[in-house]
Amino acid sequence: MEIYQDIFNALTFPCFVLEPIRGQYLIREVNKEYVSLSKTSKKIIGMSITEVFQENPEHLGTSWGKIHNSLNEAFVNGVPDNIETLRYDMLIREIEEFEEAYWQIENIPVKDETSGMVTYILFVVRDKTLEVLKKMK
């Protein structure tokens, strides 16, 4: 298991492992890149993804619904699901304001070798903010 942890932490993009439990997705692990980007700690492990990520009140319900649908697709169908571009503003905790941000998201199911059932989802994000804002100009 240690080698997998080393690989997970060596990834150059933020990601974390979610465990689907009764319609919720609990955070089981986060990599170093995610901790660096979000300026949080591993204290979020064990929390629901909806508890950790606050949505910008100006865009309430639009982003989270798409993320939840993608997670459900990966969980139910057992195949990766992608969101090519999604606006999900980042909360800057120091000033309690949201900063406009765009992401590419991939939800990759991880299956139990014996049962073939999805036990975890690898949630991978790539920041597309500069690319999207450049196109908007």
Whether residue 86 is predicted with pLDDT greater than 60 in this model: the reply is yes
Q: Which one of 4-13, 46-55, 77-86 scores highest in mean pLDDT?
A: 77-86
The pair phi, psi for residue 89, each rounded to 5°, is -65, 145
pLDDT computed for residue 114 by the predictor: 93
Res. 118 pLDDT band, cuts 50 70 90: very high
**Which CA distances in Å does 30 have to 78, 114, 117, 119?**
21, 25, 22, 16
pLDDT of residue 39: 63
Give the side-chain half-sphere CA count within 13 A for 29. Answer: 12
Q: Model confidence over 5-32: pLDDT tens digits?
A: 888 888 888 898 999 998 899 999 998 8
| Token code pair at residue 36 | 């660096």
**Dist CA 137 CA 134 (whole Å):** 6
Compare 79 and 36 and report the one with higher pLDDT.
Answer: 79
Among 39-43, 48-52, 88-92, 131-135, the range scoring the smallest mean pLDDT is: 39-43
